[in-house]
Amino acid sequence: MAGKVVLHYFNGRGKMESIRWLLTVAEVEFDEVFLTTREQYLKLLSDGDLMFQQVPLVEMDGMKLVQTKAILNYIAEKHNLHGKDLKDKLMVNTHSEGLMDLMEMIMILPFAADVKTKLDNIQNKAKDRYLPVFEKALSGPIYLVGGRLSCADVQLLECTLMLEEKFAGILAEFPNLKSFQGRMTRIPAVSRFLQSGSKRKPQPDDVYVKTIMEVFDIKSPFL
């Protein structure tokens, strides 16, 4: 019998945060092992746990899963959060990948040299390229795809909250998205995750950045 799910990552958001969100909505309990030293990372490499020498790493169902999208798709499939048929799955994946593109721009900000320029770029792309797509998709339906909750909805909530941390009021021009956000935050598991003391991680700080650079032996900011 497979034991409890275990997440191996830094004590911060990064690419693992979407996995935390999805496990939470699926009501799957998980433990976390935080990477704090280079030695931990090198041991994962020497043990052959990191197929592409990268984290996140998730121990689940007797397997050691890597690659964020693959992990998210596995969790979504297992917990009926990936669309009811092949066409719905395609649309769920399309929405999810667009959201990941946007969230990854925010994730790399702590490592950027010219933060203001990158923030301006994120805000412009969010308002002109990404948010209008989701605003239109939610014109009537309460969920993005097929009238049912999917991993794309979970990521959309995560993404909109991240955007509001950086740009207060960014959803003012997107009433459907704001209503969607309100509905999603009333889901009991989501409501608990948003409370203080949950396993949701705060915005990255200097300690998070320093730890990543030490673990990966990065000498200076790379963006």
DSSP string, 26-82: TT--EEEEE--SHHHHHHHHHTT--TTS-S-EEEETTEEEESHHHHHHHHHHHTT-S
pLDDT of residue 138 exceeding 80, the answer is yes
Bridge partners, 8 (sequence order): 33, 57
Q: In sequence order, which ranges of 108-222 are alpha helices (DSSP H)?
A: 115-125, 131-137, 151-166, 175-185, 188-193, 206-215
Which whole number is the average pLDDT over 53-71?
A: 96
Q: What's the pLDDT score for residue 1?
A: 42
pLDDT for 103 beyond 60: yes
**pTM as predicted:** 0.95
Angle among Cα 74, 102, 59 to the nearest 5 degrees reads 25
The encoded tokens of residue 134 equal: 């989701």
What confidence score (pLDDT) does residue 114 get?
Answer: 86
- What is the predicted pLDDT for the residue at 188? 96
Q: Model confidence at 113, in pLDDT bands (50, 70, 90)?
A: confident
- Specify the DSSP class assigned to residue 127: I
